[in-house]
Amino acid sequence: VTRAAVVGIGLIGGSVALGLRARAFDRDEVVRKAARRRGIDVAESLPEALDGADLIVAAVATLDTPAVLQEAAARAPAALLTDVASLKRPAADLAAGLPPGVRYVGGHPMAGGSPPGLDGARATLFAGRPWLIVPTQRSDASSIERVSAEARRLGALPVLVEAERHDALMAWISHLPLAVAASLARAVARAAPEAGAFAGPGLLDTTRLAGARLDLALELWSSDPLRLAAAVDSVAGNLTELAALLRGGDRSALEAFLLEAARARETITGKTKPRRP
């Protein structure tokens, strides 16, 4: 019999606990009570949660992840460790410092949504979503396969990616959309303070990330600010190009811009294979 333990019962941790029927622990007593009401097997202490677990999922904030992994490695040295932190270069650094023999595979499920926290948790959160699997120097083939298999059990699509490449991609795929949503929300609210009475699903979807938790947003933006700044500049450049096309009144140029955007959207949704230049 195998048993998974989840540390941290937020949106991701709660969904993993529900989907894998794992034992879970959260340092917040209010969250533990709420999790019990959701039918999660909640331990009253971290040692109780980890005891007998063969797979431990650290599902806490990125900054808190190393401490949780180190404690898990100390208390359950035979267990396979993984995490869900949104930065993976720190995970690779951490791996080197874990006790010899401890196995650790980095993970990053590309799932989210609202409401935040346990309230939004559900076993189906990961269905059809990528689950990025990031090997470390403490990952062997069977560990990687086990974490991938658990991701598949949750309905996710495991994708193997190296730590450096992961973090570089996140600047574009995760931190940049937040920057764009925040900039759009700011511009609209300044120009049209009555927007709330008129907004449709387009504006609401495009600005959703602007409502992200401040601490999480700052953590993401502070991880690699120069790379993110370059990505932000790239979108600003696209917008400036578009404004010039609008002023120039060249309908075929506008059409070409929209066509490229529609193809780009298909690339992003995975409907078309990437074309490399």
Q: Within 244-273, which residues bind a second copy (CB under 8 A)?
A: 244, 246-247, 249, 251, 254-255, 257-273
Minimum CB separation of residue 210 from a second copy in Å reads 4
Minimum CB separation of residue 3 from a second copy in Å reads 28
Nearer to a second copy, 11 or 42 (CB): 11
- Contact segment (CB under 8 A) with a second copy among 15-23, 26-34, 70-78, 189-197 equals 189-197
Q: What is the dihedral of CA 214, 203, 131, 79, to 10 degrees?
A: 30
Nearer to a second copy, 46 or 189 (CB): 189
Q: Which two tokens stand for residue 176?
A: 């940049």
Report the 10 Å Cβ neighbour count for 135. 21
Minimum CB separation of residue 28 from a second copy in Å reads 22
**Cα distance between residue 31 and residue 36, in whole Å:** 9
Minimum CB separation of residue 131 from a second copy in Å reads 10
Q: Which two tokens stand for residue 254?
A: 């506008």
Residues 151-180 that bind a second copy (CB under 8 A): 159, 161, 169, 172-174, 176-180
Nearer to a second copy, 74 or 169 (CB): 169
Nearer to a second copy, 50 or 132 (CB): 132
What string marks each residue from 190 to 219 as x (binds a second copy by CB under 8 A) or -?
Answer: xxxxxxxxxxxxxxxxxxxxxxx-x--xx-
What string marks each residue from 115 to 134 as x (binds a second copy by CB under 8 A) or -?
Answer: --------------xx-x--
Minimum CB separation of residue 84 from a second copy in Å reads 12
Minimum CB separation of residue 34 from a second copy in Å reads 23
Residues 10-49 that bind a second copy (CB under 8 A): none
DSSP assignment, residue 173? I
Minimum CB separation of residue 135 from a second copy in Å reads 16
Nearest to 176 by CA among 150, 201, 209: 209
- Total interface residues for a second copy by CB under 8 A: 99
In this structure, are strands 23-25 and 4-7 parallel, antiparallel, or unpaired?
parallel
Q: Which ranges constitute the DSSP H helices of the chain?
A: 11-20, 29-37, 46-50, 65-75, 89-97, 141-153, 163-170, 176-191, 201-207, 214-221, 225-248, 251-269
DSSP string computed for 83-150 = E--S--HHHHHHHHHSPTT-EEEEEEE----SS-SGGG--TTTTTT-EEEEEE-TT--HHHHHHHHHH
- Number of residues that this document lists for the chain: 277
240 binds a second copy (CB under 8 A): yes
Q: Residue 133 to residues 143, 147, 149: CA-CA distances in angstroms?
A: 11, 8, 11
Q: Which of 46, 123, 189, 253 binds a second copy (CB under 8 A)?
A: 189
Q: Which two tokens stand for residue 70?
A: 């180190």
Report the 10 Å Cβ neighbour count for 75. 15
What string marks each residue from 95 to 114 as x (binds a second copy by CB under 8 A) or -?
Answer: ---------------xxxx-
